[in-house]
Amino acid sequence: MVVRRGRRVPLTPLSSDVGYEARGSGDIAVAEGGAIPSSWVKTVGDALREGWSRVVVVGDVDSGKSSLCTYIVNMAVGRGLRVGFVDGDVGQPDTGPPTTVTGAMLREQSHSLGVIKGATMRFVGLLSPSLCGEDVNTAVQSVAEELEGQGASPTLVNTDGWIRDGGLGHKASLVRRLRPDAVLSLLAEDENEELVSLAEARVLSVERPEHARTRSHEERRENRERKYREYFRDATRTRSSLEGRELVLSPLLRRLAASEPRASPATLPPGLDLGALEARYPGWERGLLAGLEDGVRTLSLAIVLRLDRARGFVDLFSNPAPGWRRVAFGAVRLDDQFRELPL
């Protein structure tokens, strides 16, 4: 079992004698009580008996959302169900690279969702839903519907930890879109009451696990950069023609390109001419993460090396993505070591 840096995996021994070996920076601590909170056991048991088809998990940053989702998946798969898992956390995802919403059909149990690779992906292009909330929610809904079209039941949606300063409204908007059988919440009581009022949904409170660990900003950044390195491990440099292909800017880049930088993205035309951006910010595209899309799905992520519209080509560092028809430029820049740089 490999436990990633900054993560904890709770284990319940089945006997009084347990042997273990911790390597590297890993450590093991013995804690009183079970690894699974009693409220999880009851609520998930009720969900399986009642045959819920859609479930959304919400909670603050590092509150145990991924652990709860892992437990739900394992219990459902153990009953022979085909679980559709949607990872809606664009900043700290489990099953895909940062800046994306990913989905996977799960048929096997696992100690961690982090070992699962998303089978379908939507590129959002930013690390915080506070800058692209509706884009995130649209992507989550699209992935959920795709998995259900493939026979997933139940569909489990994990969300990001943005709660304050508009975050609950964002979650309520997602819940209204998805109309799940229930929302499983790791939030405080007053936050649950607000979510119920905003979303008009069935919200069931479950306890935060004692083993939940708060990660520092540095640990979270390191986790994202590890995810980039893993994703681009087998990538190569390619030059592609722009003929018949569309170039799309993220909302943040469209604001930068606007004559009024603080203008709302909603007031800008989707096909904004890139000339303004090129004139203001020469070399703006170099190192940016981008999505190579077929019009619905993201086929692969890419790092943009050079864009030459006059000569009609773009140089990319990417995994194979046959059939892509659109480049969606994000607002995350990486250096050649996959470290995040200021935009």
Q: Are residues 248 and 169 in the same domain?
A: no
- 107-131 pLDDT, tens digit per residue, is 999 888 888 888 999 999 999 999 8
How much is the average pLDDT of 21-47?
84
- In a shared domain, residues 211 and 242: no
Among the three residues 186, 217, 248, which one is the final residue of a domain in this structure?
217
CA–CA dist 193, 165 (Å, integer): 16
Dihedral sign, Cα of residue 33, residue 34, residue 40, residue 46: negative
d(CA 89, CA 99): 8
- CB 96, CB 87: distance < 8 Å: yes
- Range(s) of the domain holding residue 304: 232-341
Say whether pLDDT at 264 is over 60: no
Predicted confidence band at 260 (pLDDT cuts at 50, 70, 90)?
A: low
Mean pLDDT of 146-173: 96
Does residue 329 share a domain with residue 194?
no
- Between CA 163 and CA 155 the distance in angstroms is 22
Please say if the pLDDT value at position 3 is more than 80. Answer: no
Rg (CA), the chain: 21
Q: Nearest 5°: phi and psi at 30?
A: -95, 125
Name residues whose C-beta falls within 8 Å of residue 262's C-beta, 6 or more positions apart in sequence.
255
CB 5 within 8 A of CB 25: yes
Question: Which has the higher per-residue pLDDT, 291 or 14?
Answer: 291
Q: Name residues whose C-beta falls within 8 Å of residue 216's C-beta, 6 or more positions apart in sequence.
A: none
Q: Which pLDDT value is given to residue 88?
A: 97
Q: Residues 208-247: pLDDT tens digits?
A: 987 777 888 998 999 999 999 999 999 999 999 999 999 9
Distances (CA, A) of 87 to 21, 78, 159, 210, 287: 31, 21, 7, 23, 25
Asked if the structure places residue 314 within a domain, the reply is yes
- Reply yes or no on whether the pLDDT at 251 is more than 60: yes
- pLDDT surpasses 90 at 61: yes
CA gap 159, 266 in Å, rounded: 24
Question: How does DSSP classify residue 153?
Answer: B
Give strand pairing partners of 317: 237, 303
Burial 142-152 (b: 16+ CB within 10 A, else e): bbbbbbbeeeb
Same domain, 210 and 245: no
Q: In this structure, is residue 326 part of a structural domain?
A: yes
240 lies in the same domain as 91: no
In this prediction, residues 290-317 reach a mean pLDDT of 95
pTM: 0.90
- The CATH number of residue 137's host domain is 3.40.50.300
pLDDT at residue 268 in the model: 46
Closest CA to 300 of 333, 322, 329, 331: 322
Is 22 domain-assigned?
no
> What mean pLDDT value characterizes the chain?
89
Residue 266 confidence class, pLDDT cut points 50, 70, 90 = very low
CB contact at 8 A, 292 and 324: yes
Please check whether residues 168 and 199 belong to one and the same domain.
Answer: yes
**Number of domains, the chain:** 2
pLDDT tier for residue 32 given thresholds of 50, 70 and 90: confident
Please tell me whether residues 144 and 196 are part of one structural domain: yes
For residue 26, tell me if it sits in a domain: no
Q: Which domain CATH number covers 255?
A: 2.40.30
Same domain, 150 and 203: yes
Among 194, 217, 240, the domain boundary falls at: 217
